[in-house]
Amino acid sequence: KAGVTQTPRYLIKTRGQQVTLSCSPISGHRSVSWYQQTPGQGLQFLFEYFSETQRNKGNFPGRFSGRQFSNSRSEMNVSTLELGDSALYLCASSPVRDRNGRRTGELFFGEGSRLTVL
Amino acid sequence: AQSVTQPDIHITVSEGASLELRCNYSYGATPYLFWYVQSPGQGLQLLLKYFSGDTLVQGIKGFEAEFKRSQSSFNLRKPSVHWSDAAEYFCAVGAQNNNNDMRFGAGTRLTVKP
């Protein structure tokens, strides 16, 4: 089974620009979560999508947005980039329930998209 | 909301020595607890998880962790560390009502001396 795929892996933007990151979850996984990882703040939860609906949201400004498509693929967008948005953005998918119907909180992570804002 | 504290930012152990990484959580009910490992430039890989039942859980790569409710802890252990275990380790807690809103600790960087 293919893992979580994130594109692009690396990108460089300048302040004020906007960026879109893409995430393809593991086949069959309907939940997709996004995290921002920085040396100073660590791993911070951005949002989670399930069946094309945002189910949870972390404490980030409205410049950070996302969406999920009917095939469970997800995108996140950051508008009006700031220097502090430089980070590794990690996407994680989850099956929500295992083969026995039990809830599972396990997240399967992609390798991330490293964004540098100049 | 749930939260996690990993008191040790950086730990150095000799290859073959035992390892214990500390994790304390805060959550009002029985949490879902996880340990993940991240190698440089990589995403996170699940080592083990606790949902309920036996408080000593076994994971991959010879790791185990013990859930202690009285101490709000979920420490990760390995009896003999290998050089390939050098990485960053994250403890995480998920709420039972929505376990995909997972909160991570700040991480512990493990260095293994030859």
List, for residues A22-81, the tens digit of each pLDDT value. Answer: 999 999 898 899 999 998 888 999 999 988 999 888 899 999 999 999 999 999 999 999
Q: Is A60 on the interface with B (CB under 8 A)?
A: no
CB neighbourhood size of A18 (10 A): 11
pLDDT for B10 equals: 96
Q: Which residue of B has its CA nearest to A4?
A: B43
Nearest-CB residue to B102 (from A45, A50, A110)? A45
Within its chain, how far is the Cα of B110 from the centroid?
12
- Please list the pLDDT of chain B residue by residue as tens digits (114 residues): 788 999 999 999 999 999 999 999 998 777 889 999 999 878 899 999 998 888 999 999 999 999 999 999 999 999 999 999 999 999 999 876 655 678 899 999 999 999
B46 touches chain A (CB under 8 A): yes
Cβ of A43 within 8 Å of Cβ of B51? The answer is: no
pLDDT for residue A102: 62
pLDDT on residue B96: 65
- Residue A5 pLDDT class (50, 70, 90 cuts): very high
pLDDT value of position B97: 62
Q: Return the bridge partners of A54, or none.
A: A49
Gap from A100 CA to chain B (nearest CA, Å): 15
Contact B99 A4 (CB under 8 A): no
Which has the minimum average pLDDT: A19-28, A84-93, A94-103, B97-106?
A: A94-103
Q: Say what the pLDDT of residue A52 is.
A: 92
Contact A105/B94, CB-based, under 8 Å? yes
Q: Is A90 on the interface with B (CB under 8 A)?
A: yes
B101 touches chain A (CB under 8 A): yes
At residue B98, the pLDDT reads 57
Supply the DSSP symbol for A103. Answer: B
A93-102: list long-range contacts, CB under 8 Å, 24+ apart: A93/A4, A93/A23, A93/A25, A93/A26, A93/A29, A93/A31, A93/A32, A93/A33, A94/A29, A94/A31, A94/A32, A94/A33, A94/B100, A95/A26, A95/A28, A95/A29, A95/A30, A95/A31, A96/A29, A96/A30, A96/A31, A96/A50, A96/B100
Which residues in chain A are contacts of B94 at CB distance < 8 A?
Answer: 105
pLDDT at B17: 97
Provide the greatest CA pair distance for chain A. 48
CB contact set of A45 (below 8 Å; sequence gap of 6+) = A33, A34, A35, A56, A58, B101, B102, B103
For residue A76, list its beta bridge partners: A21, A66
